[in-house]
Structure 1
């Protein structure tokens, strides 16, 4: 297959070979970002500058236009993916949500994604989004600088607990922690709303053990693999070898995530990193396809 415009040469075929060898129809990637162009440029500028919330050089491999990046995912065989907008301050969520809605209308593979922020009216806004059919939410505690159990979010979490809509939650202290990251506020949140369907981004890096324990305690808490086990992440936040067998025990609640396009290596490296854990083909099939199908009700 010829690589589409915007995809580095040779990036597509290894991805297709991976899922073909597992007998899968493709991949479901639960951690992909598409943002409005002004915000996308601002986010990438922070990465390019190795800003204070990035903390290291982070070259972005997939910098093409929206159209080129969609074409790359299609060529790789990524059948479903979200856009995962995240609000970094009050008053931004509505703009992001409107843009993400329009994107999902024009890109059939895209999950209708949305976000929220602790501000007055957030509960009503999220209730409207859920009623309209939003398929996944994204929240980023490090960037937004708020706690998961902020009182202004109580109405939001109540709606989402009842609806069962997944929330991809960046709560771990990687790549750079602050006063709002870590498992403590998520633990308090789940004590009040134990039926929430959460997808802990990056397996909670670097607080792997703590977030793994939360998933073991709450049967609607999931973990996504985003960037974990890659050489890039292992250099700074290696996943403890002694925790690997527990990922096998949680086979049905580990989901493929990659952080495409904001990754500094070929997409296939994430898949190769999962394979070299040697947890078996059944585990890989569950992570890369079956669990996503189940979570999304497809």
Structure 2
């Protein structure tokens, strides 16, 4: 599926467009460094990753609009101390300039994290935490009170904790399970459907009413080559979870090595039905973000 087919996809489903829970917009200097990591196939990437979409923010926003994406995210993520609040300020400004963008924020295990998370509770619509890039565990004691604040607020957190594309000592389902034992009301959106630990993260979503999956890059041939294809025996459970409102379209735009529509094509190939596709591509995230 090429870019030109994206609107045909939504039209066929009778949808007014798409709701994409997992896109990235970052301050220019930060985005340049991210792109350099992809161009160099850095250590947390592990393979050639030719970025399909480049350009300034206004170009990328117009690209999403041309696809009919009505709601999307910035999802900044901090990878060192004293970075999160800079990213949070930038993301708040981005959302002011771009009406389709949800107000996003991030946090990092550092002194003062509870204070700045608390101060942004009423404004942030989606948090982003990336333990692979940040090189920390979700159970870091410095984060415990902040997680409690987020759980109480009910704000969704897009959490990259799966071991794809490259595992680290901080990735995997076990720390997330421990976090949920401590804070069972957390509204976690597991990025990339938890790849490659698909079964384990699906199980966490099934047993925690506020845990969901996003589809980002999962099911695409590119991702299958890295971590193995999604186990077919899990598909009936994935269908049930999506129809229950807890699977969300994600793309990773613009940091993807194929056309945007390939993610949609991959979802359609699962054969889970038009009702499921409408829920995943529109209804579930609309209900989450409004």
User: Which of 100, 121, 134 does residue 124 from structure 2 map onto?
Assistant: 134
Are 1:290 and 2:280 matched, yes or no?
A: no
Counterpart in the other structure of 1:43:
34
Structure 1, unaligned runs of 5 or more: 1-9
Alignment of 1:1-298 (within 5 A): 11-131=2-122, 133-237=123-227, 238-251=229-242, 252-296=245-289, 298=290
Give aligned pairs, total: 287
**Take 2:21 and 2:194, find their aligned partners in 1: how far apart are those partners?**
15
Does the 8 A contact of 2:3 with 2:259 survive in 1?
Answer: no
Deviation at 1:12, TM superposition (A): 3.8
Does the 8 A contact of 1:170 with 1:202 survive in 2?
Answer: yes
**Take 2:205 and 2:55, find their aligned partners in 1: how far apart are those partners?**
36
Alpha-carbon deviations, 1:209-234, whole Å to 9, x = none? 11000001101001000000101011
**Take 1:152 and 1:93, find their aligned partners in 2: how far apart are those partners?**
14
Alpha-carbon deviations, 1:235-258, whole Å to 9, x = none? 122111111111011012000000
SS across alignment from 1:279: coil
SS across alignment from 2:226: coil
Deviation at 1:11, TM superposition (A): 4.7
SS across alignment from 1:235: helix
Does the 8 A contact of 1:200 with 1:221 survive in 2?
Answer: yes
Alpha-carbon deviations, 1:55-107, whole Å to 9, x = none? 00000000021110000001110000010000000000011001101000000
SS across alignment from 1:236: helix
**Take 2:247 and 2:54, find their aligned partners in 1: how far apart are those partners?**
28
Alpha-carbon deviations, 1:1-21, whole Å to 9, x = none? xxxxxxxxx954311111111
**Take 1:284 and 1:203, find their aligned partners in 2: how far apart are those partners?**
15
Alpha-carbon deviations, 1:113-140, whole Å to 9, x = none? 0000001110110011113x11000000
**Take 1:229 and 1:136, find their aligned partners in 2: how far apart are those partners?**
24
**Take 1:93 and 1:161, find their aligned partners in 2: how far apart are those partners?**
19
Give 4+ residue runs of structure 1 displaced > 2 Å after superposition. 10-13
Q: TM-score, normalised by structure 1?
A: 0.95
SS across alignment from 2:121: helix
**Take 2:150 and 2:79, find their aligned partners in 1: how far apart are those partners?**
20
The root-mean-square deviation of aligned C-alpha atoms, in Å, is 0.9
**Take 1:60 and 1:236, find their aligned partners in 2: how far apart are those partners?**
16
